[in-house]
Structures are given as C-alpha cells and as structure tokens.
C-alpha cells in the first residue's frame, strides 16, 4: 500500500501502526456517500506535473453538479484550467492527477487520485486509483458567494512580489500537490491562523506541519521527490496564486516537522473563479500561534 518514502516517514514519526489502520480507508471505488458529496461541490483542486516535471496545483470551479461520479470508479469534471494556467495544456491530454474536494461550509474533504483524460470539449474524466475522506481538522468554515463572470487573466513570474508576499503571510489556507516515485500525484490541504506560512523572502516560505491522519502521503512523497506545487486561493476576490518549487522537510523534531519551500515559478490568476467566500470561522483544532 505504502511506497518507500511514506514508510520512511511513518517509521521516523513512530506512526506505522496508526498508518496501517487509517490506510484501510483508502479504496478504488467511489461510495454513494462520496458521490453525493461531489455533486454538491463548487470547486475542486487538481494537482499534476508539467512537461518539465514541475508540480502545480490549480482550482476548477462550476455550479453544483459540475463534479459528479461516473459509476463507481471515475469522476467527471465539467471544467478545465483557464488559459494561462500552467496545467491548461497538461490536462488537455492524459495525466496523473491528485484531487481534493473541500466543503468549507461543512468542514469536510475528500481526496481522489488517479488518471485524468479529456472528456468532451471542456471537461475531464478521472479514473480513480485512490479514494478516501479526510478528517475536518484545520478547515476554516466559509460559504461561497457568486461573483459576476469576468475573463480570467494570468501573470507569470519567478518570485513573489511584495503584495503577494503580504497575501501569503495573511493566508489561512493553501493546497499542496506532490508526486511519488511512480509519478502518481497527491493533493492535500493545509490550514492555520494567518501567519502560519512564514514568508522569509521573495523565493522562500516555511510552515510547520500539524498532526494529521498519520498516512504522511505528502511528506512521504517529499522524502523521495522534493517537487511541490502550492495553490493559495484569494477567498475575497476569486483570484488565485499558483506556485511551483522545491520543498525540504526539517526533521530536527520528528514530532513537529517543518517544511522549507523554495519558489521557482509563480502564476497569478485573476478571476480564477466566479466565487468569493464569507469571512472565515477558524477551526477549533488549529494550534495557537506561539508568538
């Protein structure tokens, strides 16, 4: 079930037994309750690698029902990345993807990893290889609100501008995409109080990893492949910030690993979705800032 990187991290943290237990929840089929959950979603996060091997995470959006199960083993998504998104060309063909569907209002999330192929003129069909729910920890409660439709625009760079540094420092949520040794991609969620992502410069970020489900799929991937993509949605505007770079984990304290992230490329997506969100109700599980 686990690859060498995941097992190494589980041993290092003393979580092998718990990982074996929680790992039994991973399946290849989409249960009816998960199918219903998907049809209610307005957004889904997708992670994948570009032709250069860089990992990116992006966000697709649509009306309720734009994501739906196609039988027990696949999902249909009636959306693709907008022009200028680094995954637009990638998802125009077959690709390994990791996805996470987040219900911010209900503090629920579901992950589905598998093989994506184009479906129709503007959609995707993802064949499931791993399907599992996650605990509600660290999700800030929010509800979506409609925006007038606007044409998306993309601006690429190789470092974070000062306004973007300030936005990252104020973030309470981001999504992380990583890939394992077999090329399979995983997308996961991180949440904290504003400031939980430290901005150390225009190309350097740092965050502490909080206790989770003990499977360590993200950190296990990083053990063998440091490429990682970050998606930081702007909940107030519908914009999004996409980053790709390299992540290194500091295991000085195995019970509290810290990730150092070097930004290689950035993409600002204005009007990435036609949604804004209500102000956050912070998760009661969040660790209090130490300063």
CA atoms of 10 and 171, how far apart (whole Å): 29
Check residue 106 and give its pLDDT.
Answer: 94
* Domain ranges for the chain: 4-137+152-277
- In tens digits, the chain (291 residues) has pLDDT values of 799 998 989 999 998 888 788 888 889 999 999 999 999 999 999 999 999 999 999 999 999 999 999 999 999 999 999 999 999 999 999 999 999 999 999 999 999 999 999 999 999 999 999 999 877 889 999 999 998 878 899 999 999 999 999 999 999 999 999 999 999 999 999 999 999 999 999 999 999 999 888 789 999 999 999 999 999 999 999 999 999 999 999 999 999 999 999 999 999 999 999 999 999 999 999 997 665
Check residue 290 and give its pLDDT.
Answer: 62
Written out in words, the top-level CATH class of the domain with range 4-137+152-277 is mainly beta
């Amino acid at each position: 079930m686990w690859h060498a990187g995941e097992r190494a991290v589980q041993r290092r943290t003393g979580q092998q037994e718990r990982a074996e237990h929680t790992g039994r929840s991973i399946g290849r089929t989409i249960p009816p309750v998960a199918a219903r959950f998907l049809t209610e979603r307005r957004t889904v996060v997708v992670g994948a690698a570009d032709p250069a091997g860089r990992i990116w995470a992006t966000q697709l959006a649509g009306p309720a029902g734009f994501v739906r199960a196609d039988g027990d083993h696949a999902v249909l998504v009636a959306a693709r990345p907008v022009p200028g998104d680094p995954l637009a060309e990638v998802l125009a063909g077959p690709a390994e993807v990791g996805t996470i569907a987040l219900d911010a209002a209900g503090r629920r999330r579901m992950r589905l990893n598998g093989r994506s192929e184009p479906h129709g003129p503007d959609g995707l069909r993802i064949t499931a290889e791993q399907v599992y729910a996650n605990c509600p920890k660290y999700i800030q409660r929010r509800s979506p609100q409609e925006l007038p439709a606007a044409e998306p625009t993309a601006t690429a760079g190789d470092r974070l501008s000062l306004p973007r540094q300030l936005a990252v420092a104020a973030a309470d949520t981001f999504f992380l995409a990583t890939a394992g040794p077999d090329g399979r991609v995983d997308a996961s969620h991180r949440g904290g109080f504003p400031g939980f992502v430290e901005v150390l410069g225009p190309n350097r970020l740092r965050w502490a990893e909080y206790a989770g489900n003990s499977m360590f799929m993200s950190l296990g991937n990083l053990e063998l492949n440091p490429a990682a993509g970050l998606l930081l949605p702007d909940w107030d505007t519908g914009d999004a910030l996409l980053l790709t770079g390299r992540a290194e984990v500091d295991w000085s304290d195995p019970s509290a690993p810290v990730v150092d992230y070097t930004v290689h490329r950035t993409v600002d997506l204005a009007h990435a979705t036609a949604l804004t969100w209500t102000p956050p109700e912070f998760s009661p599980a969040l660790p209090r800032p130490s300063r």
